[in-house]
Chain A
Amino acid sequence: MEVTLIHILFLSTSLFFIGMFGLFTRRNMITMLMAVELILNSVNINFVAFNKFLYPEQLTGVFFTIFIIAIAAAEAAVAIAIIIHIYRNHKSIDVEDSQDMKY
């Protein structure tokens, strides 16, 4: 079976929902961050695939991918700073334990 755009979209869909599954089930902040990284990666695959297979004369998808990677790096750094700060105050990074701002 020849690989077309649809196969790549199937792959990225599966990756996205695996990430969603991890986000639903995991209660540890670092593993939830990993799930978010998977979701962002599936979006990047989509952008590059659309760029390559439908509009190869432009580079829009490649630029979006690069910008998303940069934003993901910034997001991961901020998230980990927050997680380390929470760990110092609560001695736990379980989402159920950090409820100070809930009510």
Chain B
Amino acid sequence: MTAYDIIFYLLGGFILGNAVLAMTTPKIFRAAIFLLFTLMGVAGLYFWMHVEFVAAVQIIVYVGGIVVLIIFSIFLTQESGTKMPKVNNKRMVFSLLASVCGIVLTMLLINQYAFPEIATTTLDASPNKIGMQMLDYSERGYALPFEVISILLLSAMVGCITIALKSNPEEV
């Protein structure tokens, strides 16, 4: 067991612990903060796997964007300090049962599946290579999905503004 493995187990424990807390804590603002730590842990896992570009994107988009958006919407919609109503016991038990059964089933399947040989070459995910392939319009490039996703993002932003705009009945 090397330091490399120990770091993985520490990161895994950090991610799962914070995820459980984010899903069970009764205060919504605390749930958002635990979600932030979970996403930071996932970014750490990407660093551990040597895909630094994805880790940076994860931190910028999730931690810097989505979590801040969620925290703003918490402040806009409710008292952040109040506790959420308790879940009834029946629903709690059954969803716990469903989740545990799902975990066990999926882990059994993963354990039995014969994965192909672990490759020996290392992954080269430098921003340079990713950028070149992203804008490549030949056979193996991703220029078309890149354009599609740009249009999707733009239309989603326009849609957000339209939905969240304050509708004033006098002006219509």
Contact = CB atoms under 8 A, between A and B. Distances in A.
Contacts of A19: 19, 23
Interface string B54-94: 10011001100110011001101110000011010001101
Interface extent on B, as a size class? Answer: 35 or more
A87 B77 contact: yes
The DSSP consensus for interface residues of chain A is helix
Nearest to A22: B23
B123 A52 contact: yes
B19 A15 contact: yes
Contacts of A11: 12, 15-16, 45
Contacts of A76: 66, 69-70
Contact of B61 (A21, A62, A69): A69
25 contacts: A3-B5, A7-B12, A11-B45, A17-B100, A17-B106, A19-B19, A19-B23, A20-B98, A24-B99, A25-B91, A27-B85, A34-B22, A34-B23, A41-B38, A41-B42, A44-B58, A52-B49, A52-B50, A54-B119, A59-B129, A73-B153, A76-B70, A77-B156, A81-B163, A87-B76
Interface of B: 1-2, 4-5, 8-9, 12, 15-16, 19-20, 22-24, 28, 31-32, 35, 38-39, 42, 45-46, 49-51, 53-54, 57-58, 61-62, 65-66, 69-70, 73-74, 76-78, 84-85, 87, 91-92, 94-96, 98-100, 102-103, 106-107, 110-111, 115-116, 118-119, 121-125, 129-130, 133-134, 142, 145, 149, 152-153, 156-157, 159-161, 163-164, 166
6 smallest CB-CB distances across A and B, nearest first, come from A24-B95, A22-B23, A74-B156, A56-B123, A81-B160, A81-B164
